[in-house]
């Protein structure tokens, strides 16, 4: 017989989705930097970041560090309103071309069951939230820092990747209240997110054993 506390728990589950490579076919971050920046800013940023770009290609610079440096070059000193407008435009005109139908179908499957669906991403909130709004999804994503309506080039609370994904999910949701937690990811940056779940999917394949994902995947 279920306890009184258990009977008070909602029947709906929690479903956590990585964005780039899981919901999308490809990276959305770098294309947005190009989409939202002038040619001159792109050239200057590329020159300034050349050593890091080389280091990243050689595996010496982490993807998270590269993203933060790219965001600083692309957005520092720019209007928050402008970037949010471009984010909404990007979500409407570009993202539909890279979204996996399989991902949308799975999201709809969860929603028909009454589950809470959350996108948890290192990608930028300015366009992920704009895209997710139409599907009525919750979003936890990397946020750009703003001071007086102007972007500083920094992040609020750091890059939403790795263990930070798990930390932010746990800060917002009481996992013990959900009968099951589903998680969907595609790289080692999603390992901590998958670790929160009892039903894990890596590159859309179910993981039957609760083992960590190898770092070289």
Could you tell me the strand order of the sheet in which 116-124 lies? 138-142, 116-124, 14-17, 181-185, 199-202, 205-207
- Residue 4: beta bridge partners? none
CA distance linking residue 171 with residue 148, whole number of Å = 27
Question: Which structural domains are found in the chain, ordered by start?
Answer: 4-205 (3.40.50.1000)
pLDDT in tens, the chain (217 residues): 333 333 344 579 999 999 999 999 999 999 999 999 989 998 898 888 888 888 888 888 888 888 999 999 999 999 999 999 999 999 999 999 999 999 999 999 999 999 999 999 999 999 999 999 999 999 999 999 999 999 999 999 999 999 999 999 999 999 999 999 999 999 999 999 999 999 999 999 999 865 454 433 3
pLDDT of residue 210: 56
Neighbours of 39 (CB within 10 A): 8
CA distance linking residue 37 with residue 90, whole number of Å = 12
pTM of the model: 0.88
CA distances from 175 to 114, 118, 167, 179, 180 (A): 16, 13, 12, 9, 9
DSSP letter at 200?
Answer: E
Length of the chain: 217
Q: 3-state class of 80 per DSSP?
A: helix
CA distance linking residue 52 with residue 41, whole number of Å = 17
CA distances from 197 to 13, 155, 180, 190 (A): 11, 27, 7, 11
- Residue 153 gets the label, from left (phi > 0), alpha (psi -120 to 50) or beta, of left
């Amino acid at each position: 017989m279920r306890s009184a506390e258990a009977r008070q728990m909602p029947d709906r589950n929690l479903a956590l989705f990585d964005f780039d490579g899981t919901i999308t076919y490809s990276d959305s971050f770098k294309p947005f930097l190009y989409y939202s920046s002038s040619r001159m800013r792109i050239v200057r940023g590329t020159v300034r970041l050349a050593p890091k770009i080389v280091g990243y290609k050689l595996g010496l610079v982490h993807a998270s560090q590269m993203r933060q440096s790219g965001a600083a070059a692309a957005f520092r000193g720019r209007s928050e309103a402008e970037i949010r407008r471009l984010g909404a435009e990007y979500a409407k005109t570009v993202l539909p071309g890279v979204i996996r139908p399989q991902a949308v179908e799975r999201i709809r499957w969860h929603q028909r069951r009454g589950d809470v669906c959350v996108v948890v991403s290192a990608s930028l909130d300015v366009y992920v939230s704009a895209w997710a709004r139409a599907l009525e999804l919750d979003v936890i994503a990397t946020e750009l820092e703003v001071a007086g309506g102007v972007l500083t080039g920094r992040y609020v609370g750091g890059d939403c990747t790795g263990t930070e994904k798990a930390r932010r999910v746990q800060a917002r949701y009481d996992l013990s209240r959900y009968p099951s937690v589903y998680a969907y990811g595609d790289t080692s940056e999603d390992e901590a997110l998958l670790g929160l779940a009892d039903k894990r999917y890596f590159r859309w394949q179910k993981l039957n054993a609760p083992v960590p994902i190898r770092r070289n995947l």
